[in-house]
Amino acid sequence: MKATAQVFKALSDETRLRILCLLLEGELCVCDLMAVLQLPQSTVSRHLAYLKNSGWVDDRRCGVWMYYSIAENGSELRKGILGALHTALPSQEVAVADRQRLSELSPNTSCA
C-alpha cells in the first residue's frame, strides 16, 4: 500500500504534473524543462528526482546533460493513471502555455 500511496503522492504537486505533461511529448533535457517551467535547475532537479524515485520517469546522461522520459516499465497502476493524465492534462491552460514555450525553444541537439 505504501508504494501505491507514493504513486499518488508524486502527482500531488503542480510542477510535477507539468513535468509529466511535457514528458508526454517525449524525452527532454533538464535545461529544456527549466526554460519552459521558468524555474531554477535545483527546483526542476528536485521534482525530477521525486518523479524518478516514485517510478514515473527514467533518466539518461549524455555528457554533462541529463535527459528524462516517461518510465517505460511502469506498474499497471501507473500505466492506467498515465493514460488518464494523457487525456486530461494537455488541454489545461497551463499545459497549453508550457507546450507553446517548448515549441519556441531551439532544439537541444548536443546529444542524440
Residue 25 lies in a domain: yes
Residue 111 lies in a domain: no
- pLDDT over threshold 90, residue 106: no
- pLDDT over threshold 90, residue 1: no
* Per-residue pLDDT tens over the stretch 56-97: 999 999 888 899 999 988 788 888 999 999 999 989 999 999
Residue 67 lies in a domain: yes
Residue 32 lies in a domain: yes
Q: In total, how many domains does the chain have? A: 1
Entry pTM: 0.90
Q: What is the model's pLDDT at position 36?
A: 96
Residue 68, CA atoms < 13 Å, CB-side half-sphere? 26
Q: Which domain holds residue 88?
A: 2-102
Cβ atoms of residues 62 and 110 within 8 Å: yes
CA–CA gap between residue 41 and residue 108 (Å, rounded): 16
Residue 110 lies in a domain: no
Long-range contacts: 82-85, Cβ < 8 Å, 24+? 82/20, 85/11, 85/17, 85/20, 85/21, 85/24
* Per-residue pLDDT tens over the stretch 4-22: 888 899 999 999 999 999 9
Q: Which is more confidently placed, 27 or 105?
A: 27
Residue 41, CA atoms < 13 Å, CB-side half-sphere? 5
Compute the average pLDDT of residues 25-46: 95
Listed in order, strand segments (DSSP E) in 15-71 are 28-29, 57-62, 65-70
CATH value at residue 39: 1.10.10.10
